[in-house]
A and B are shown apart, each in its own frame.
Chain A
Amino acid sequence: MGQVLFWTLAAAALGFGYLVFRVDSMARATFALLASFLAVAGEVLLLGLGYLGVVIALMMVVEMVVMAVFMVMFMMNPAGLVPMTMVHNKAGSAAIAIGTFVALAAGVLVVDWPTRVGEPAPDVTLALGEALMGGQMLTMMTLGVALFATIVATVVLSTARGRYRDEP
């Protein structure tokens, strides 16, 4: 059962990920990406990380809806009514991507991975919380400061005033 679920979700993640760059409609590309993310959240749930899986799903839905707003705002073909491709160096990128995949896959299959040590804690979420608030507190603080800097930077960049001049 776990095997079937794993392979179905893996195929869905890869399939929808590829569809993102094939469909003409920008809205469909955004939601194909969302489907890929939800498949990845399912994979993480399969590994027993309940909290992280549901949080990934939640955050990705919000991010994709916000991305859809930006899609329709900026792109010239949001509904895909006119088929068009906006790519540059398609063959080169494909070659680089396939080359990267072959190199990574070769590494995955050849490397002698370490064996499993230990069992998951009975409450994985609690273990994560205690780590973030205890041993990994530095990580937590860095994330907090980075998020705060992001908020300030994005507000400055996106106000009509911008960084240099007054209201245009």
Chain B
Amino acid sequence: MNDPASKQGPAWAWSDPSMANGMNRRSFLRATVAAASGLAAVAALAPLRELKNFTSVDEFLQKHYTELTPEQMAKVLKRIEDEVEKQYGLRPHVRDYKPMNGVEFVYCLNLTRCIGCRKCVHACVAENNQSRTPEIQYIRVLKMPNGTFDVEKAEHNYAPESVPEPGFYYMPVQCHQCKNPPCVKVCPVKATWKDDDGIVVIDYDWCIGCRYCEAACPYWARRFNFTAPSIPKERLNPEMSYLGNRPRKVGVMEKCHFCIQRTRAGRYPACVEVCPAGARKFGNILDPDSEVSHILKDKRVFVLKEEVGTLPRFFYYFEI
């Protein structure tokens, strides 16, 4: 077998050619390389020093929404209130609204009436504490030329002097709260699910940010927090809900939730309330006398992309 001791050190080991010194030199070299690699790794991770408000031990260990006991939920809500107060200097009121018995929400949008003013978009942003920079909006209003339903012909960034413009109609799109939601099906961690009142909700503290739901949604209704959202303090809406409009964190999904903090407390969504044309109708489909029940019975109603089988709760209709 080869004897390593018989191997000669390189010629430049002139000071002492003995094996012991060679080994010392080698271990010195090794220590230097190890130290340099360690330092380089630390230097590579240096940007992490800027990390703040990323997560807390409580948030990291927090269980899934459906597994929280009422006491644990109370603690979580308090933690969120503390965090918001710390960040915005304003004590919010965070509640966990549950679906009401005997209620299933349905949304109807009258395309004859919509004038494309985007007041709904702004009301939604204000109500739901959406990030102003970068801008996140749940409602996208499409300006469609008369005579087609092809969304590829739509204009997204229209900005005329005044609306409506002749020759066009306007089609606002937001989360359709599907009865058969592809986003829920694809979520690998059940961070999004369909509640009993038909609203598809997201647990912002459970979402891992893989954006599979965003790819799955046929209505482009989901939004991702590519960076930490920023909302001016004075614009913060302090009436918040856990599954609704509390400020989100970086790296999680969000979307329209029919203003849970309002609708589960018996109010209309912000977009319905603000619409100056009366194009937006909202109500309980289990109540046969509700406005939406009448619309679905009497009007010429359709849903977007019926062929994908998502069974939306969001209906469009024409009056004339």
A and B associate:
no
